[in-house]
Amino acid sequence: MNKNDDEKFIRKAIKLALKAKGKTSPNPLVGAIIVKDGKIISKGYHQGFGKPHAEIEAINSSPISLADSTLYVTLEPCSVWGKTPPCVETIKQIPFKRIVIGMKDPNPYVNGRSIKILRDAGYDVEVGICEDEVKKLNPYFQNYIDCLKTYTVLKVALSKDNFIYSKNFPEKYITTVESRIDLHKKRFEFDGILVGSNTVNVDDPLLDTRNIKIEYKPKVVILDFSNKLDYSKKIFKDKKRLKIIIVSKQFENYLKNEKDIKYIFVKNKDESWDFIKNRMCDFGVISLLIEGGKKVFVDSLKHSVVDEVWIYRSKIKLLNGIKLDIERILKNKKFKLIEEKKIKDDTFKRYICSQEL
């Protein structure tokens, strides 16, 4: 195989990995392909947390002998016990001709260890094929490995004159359809979406990806410190979707025996934001998108929870309503603008916390 063939098959493995988008966290998306005599004989991908890894899926799915075949895998095979046995030990039992790996596993417990094990066992191992493309598969995995914290992005839609809502504006949305499609594409990157109870009660949002006609429903995190959440809203009709509701310890009239609802009881707002930053990983949420409303936006920045901010700014002026001069806040918080582009008539800006640079 030449380099072009290696890149071709790693890219196919990347596409395969994407089939499990939203199902593997906190594990990364991983795809694997086995090639023999220039033809794909088997495929596999990590289908969900606790399920067999991509390499094992591919090995077990092969209809013919794997002798003298090449294993292509997007991420270095694991070498430690977790929910599943270490993949490298299974791979060592197969007489592969070559093993091609997209990138090293950033997990310090692996990080090159499996590569060394395989090379020491006599395998021809190639590493770093389409590495930049493989990294894009799991944009927030590295942060989780490094910090064991959730990477948090705040998204806000603003009018030209800094309003996020006006009861006098006849339309539901102030941004264009194109901006909403862009957001729904970006939602695919996140394990969870956070909103306040008032946003649920007033907007009755679905928080899904319907605008791109691909069904993906991240976990929903709801801040309900005032205990005013309306459980008749649409989000609660989907019993397959986990809702993590953060409430005060004084709250007693919560729903019991609901498998799709998990309550987190906190003493105060400081404790709630500490949980969001440091404990959401316990629920497989290593990436979180904050979508509303104003109090949630302001408090998340005040408590230094936010790593990035995305602003979709409309050309429309609302003149009155709920105002939020978020760019002034970001300047005071030392966020830096790193991306700006037009989306139809809207402007998209991406800011990153300066300490992340």
pTM of the model: 0.86
CATH class in words for 148-353: alpha beta
> Is residue 1's pLDDT more than 70?
no
User: In three state form, how does the secondary structure of 164-217 look?
Assistant: EECCCCCCCCCCCHHHHHHHHHHHCCCCEEEEEHHHHHHHCCCCCCHHHCCCCC
Taking residues 222-237, report their average pLDDT.
92
Residues 156-196: tens digit of each pLDDT: 999 999 999 999 998 889 999 999 999 998 998 899 999 99
CATH superfamily of 3-138: Cytidine Deaminase, domain 2 (3.40.140.10)
pLDDT band at 321 (very low <50, low <70, confident <90, very high): very high
- Using alpha carbons, select from 123, 116, 13 the residue that is nearest to residue 74: 13
Domain boundaries along the sequence of the chain: 3-138, 148-353
Taking residues 8-16, report their average pLDDT.
97
Least confident of 245-259, 262-276, 289-303: 245-259
Q: Which positions are annotated as active-site residues?
A: 55
pLDDT recorded at residue 248: 85
CA-CA distances (angstroms) from residue 166 to 169, 174, 321, 323?
5, 10, 4, 9
pLDDT recorded at residue 211: 83
Binding residues for Zn(2+): 53, 78, 87
Binding residues: 53, 78, 87, 157, 187, 199, 203, 207, 210, 291
Residues 189-227: tens digit of each pLDDT: 899 999 999 999 999 999 988 888 777 789 999 999 888
Average model confidence (pLDDT) across the chain: 92
| Alpha-carbon gap, residue 6 to 71, rounded angstroms | 10
Binding residues for NADP(+): 157, 199
Query: What are 137-144's contacts with CB under 8 Å, separation 24+?
Result: 137/14, 137/17, 137/18, 137/28, 137/29, 137/30, 137/74, 138/28, 138/29, 139/189, 139/287, 140/189, 140/286, 140/287, 141/26, 141/28, 141/106, 141/286, 142/106, 143/286, 143/307, 144/26, 144/281, 144/286
The single residue listed with the structure tokens 């417990």 is 109
pLDDT band at 357 (very low <50, low <70, confident <90, very high): very low
Residues 18-73: tens digit of each pLDDT: 999 888 888 899 999 999 999 999 999 999 888 999 999 999 999 999 999 999 99
pLDDT band at 253 (very low <50, low <70, confident <90, very high): low
| Alpha-carbon gap, residue 40 to 38, rounded angstroms | 7
The structure tokens listed for 1 are 């195989």
CA-CA distances (angstroms) from residue 127 to 76, 137, 238, 340?
8, 17, 42, 34
The structure tokens listed for 139 are 């944009």
